[in-house]
Chains A and B, each alone.
Chain A
Amino acid sequence: MKIIFVIILVLGILTGCSDDQYSAEKMLYYAAKASKKIYMSADAAAPFEYRAAVSAYERIVERFTNTAFEKTAQFKIGELYLLKKEYDTARRELGKLISRYPDDRDVIVKTKFAIAKTYEIEGRWDQALKEFEKIEQNYTDSIQAIQIPIYIAQYYQKQEEMKKAALAYQQAIEKYENIARDNQDTPKAYLANDLIAACLINQQRWEETVVQLKKIIESYPKIAGVLRSAAVLEQIYIQKLKQPQAVLDFYEKFISEHKDEDYELSKILRKRIEKIKEVTKT
């Protein structure tokens, strides 16, 4: 009995009282569980459920300062107030991240993007647009900044302001073409080309989309995301343009042009050719 007690005590002392990663993960898990109902249906959640969820995240912020867990928790607090429609409080809570981590560019950009979105959700689009434009100017290299042009265009499209949307998409495509040209053969160029394709898809400009997708597949055959581009190309050719033979021709051309290179993509495209032939026969 004594041995068991001693072993448990030693393990407990070594592990139970420590502020380690495991403890933080456990607290985050329970905080996420407490906020699950709020994320599923914010309007149906009771005030005490909001309080419990916010408190759970606040305990993580207090206990795990200067860690990734603190940042995640503080972000979640901002999100919860946003869901509760307390926009000023949400922005104040998110703002704490900027004051605590003034040198962490990643955190600052993500937080500023989230703050801009709070203005958008609140219905203050003009203020949101100002914030988005500031991010684009001051943090040009960040993922968020690159995505802002298409984000703005999608907003206008959702609001059914079609002229503004068309103009925004055009401006987005021009910006992305510049980024792709200035950063050739880099992941940034791939992302820019991918976003050009997304702009064309959103506008249902199918002929131009297939040209852009083929360009992406040919230029970046080794990048994992190119499989998604191939899947979209197939869908557009088969369902929108009703030209299944065109996608088969493109795949066969790609495979024969790259038969000396051992691309994973070539193997997958061979299987896709068989599948498409089967489907189009039936």
Chain B
Amino acid sequence: MGLTIVKMTANVVLDAWIASFRTLRNCPRIFIPFIITAFFEFIALLLIYYSPRQPLVVFLGPPITRFWGGKYLHYPFNFVLMPKLLFYSQTLISIFVGSLMTAVAVYLIWQSISLNNRQRILPAIKKTLPRYLGVIVAIFINLILIWLYFKFENKFENKLLVKLFAENPTKKILFIGVQGWRQIGFYFGILVTIIIDTLFVYVIPIIIIERRSVFMAIIRSITFAIRNFTVSFFIVAIPILFYLPIIILKGKMSILMDKFIPEVTLYILTCGILLTMLINCWITALSVHVFITRRKVSEVK
């Protein structure tokens, strides 16, 4: 019985992958919204990279000095701050640009699959613009939940680890030392992020396709994802796993900067932007396919 469910889930996921690749191949303009988001992120990265130099230092120097210190306007310390600044920029871009672009992509994919209708970008933007505010709120809530988890997890982990290991930092608990438990916490954090994203992965498709309000869409997405949890989890988790090397490299940035050149930070972050573009495109295509297919199945039932 269990094996049958696993096989069925694998088939559904595989079908969704094949269908989404076919859709992307047949309608490559679906990439354009994600290219636009990546473009904004790349511009943000360039501005951050050039922030210690004239003329940008005149505008960007004071806030950087105020919040992080003047040290980060000098080579090579500017590369140490770069990932953090890009993260903040990407968060803002994700909320105000990425949300709309994802909605446009959902619309294009939906039109392509359901109505065999290949829309152009500008008409698609006009169609999705009325839903812009709802989509922003959806992305914002998704990000807030992840942020709240990490805020709580950080405090809890630090207090627990101090309590268990303060007297003897070399002690082991269940054969694992303090660094081992931090690693486990790190990977658990990734798992929780994937689960939250899984529950929210259908929100934008529901807002665009079923034209529901944002809060109804969130509730429907969560219930839909729970009902189709394994499929939903894998269509989010597998693409995100491709980003894991970037996460690991970001964690070792200072070692890499010292071993090679400080500019390695810039190259890793650029690769991260390109990979994020592809992963978001892939997850969006998969989620629309699964939603349309499984929605029909439950309607028939």
Chain B associates with chain A = yes
Is A138 positioned at the interface, with any CB of B under 8 Å from its CB? no
Is A18 positioned at the interface, with any CB of B under 8 Å from its CB? yes
> Contacting B54 at CB < 8 Å: which of A7, A14, A25, A29?
A14
- A22 engages B52 (CB within 8 Å): yes
Residues of A within 8 A of B75 (CB): 22, 25-26, 29
Q: How large is the interface on B (under 10, 10 to 19, 20 to 34, 35 or more residues)?
A: 10 to 19
- B39 engages A4 (CB within 8 Å): yes
A25-B74, A26-B75 given; A11·B54 CB < 8 A: no
Is B76 positioned at the interface, with any CB of A under 8 Å from its CB? yes
Cα distance A18–B53 in the bound complex, in angstroms: 9
Q: Which residue of B lies closest to A15 (CB)?
A: B53
Number of interface residues of A (CB under 8 A): 13
Is B55 positioned at the interface, with any CB of A under 8 Å from its CB? yes
Residues of A within 8 A of B76 (CB): 25-26, 29
Cα distance A14–B53 in the bound complex, in angstroms: 9
Q: Which of B42, B53, B74, B76 has its CB near the most chain A CB atoms (within 10 A)?
A: B53
Dominant SS among interface residues on chain A? helix
Residues of A within 8 A of B3 (CB): none
List residues of chain B with CB under 8 Å of any chain A CB: 39, 42-43, 46, 50, 52-56, 74-76, 262
Q: A186 to nearest B CB, angstroms? A: 29
- B50 engages A15 (CB within 8 Å): yes
Residues of A within 8 A of B39 (CB): 4
Residues of A within 8 A of B46 (CB): 7-8, 11
Is A20 positioned at the interface, with any CB of B under 8 Å from its CB? yes
> Contacting B53 at CB < 8 Å: which of A4, A7, A20, A29?
A20
Residues of A within 8 A of B52 (CB): 22
Q: Which residue of A lies closest to B263 (CB)?
A: A26
- A7 engages B74 (CB within 8 Å): no
A7-B43, A7-B46 given; A22·B262 CB < 8 A: no
Instruction: Please name 22 pairs of A and B residues whose Cβ atoms are closer than 8 Å in the assembled complex, sorted by A.
Output: A7-B46, A8-B46, A11-B50, A14-B50, A14-B53, A14-B54, A14-B55, A15-B50, A15-B53, A15-B54, A18-B53, A20-B53, A20-B54, A22-B52, A22-B53, A22-B75, A25-B74, A25-B75, A26-B76, A29-B75, A29-B76, A29-B262
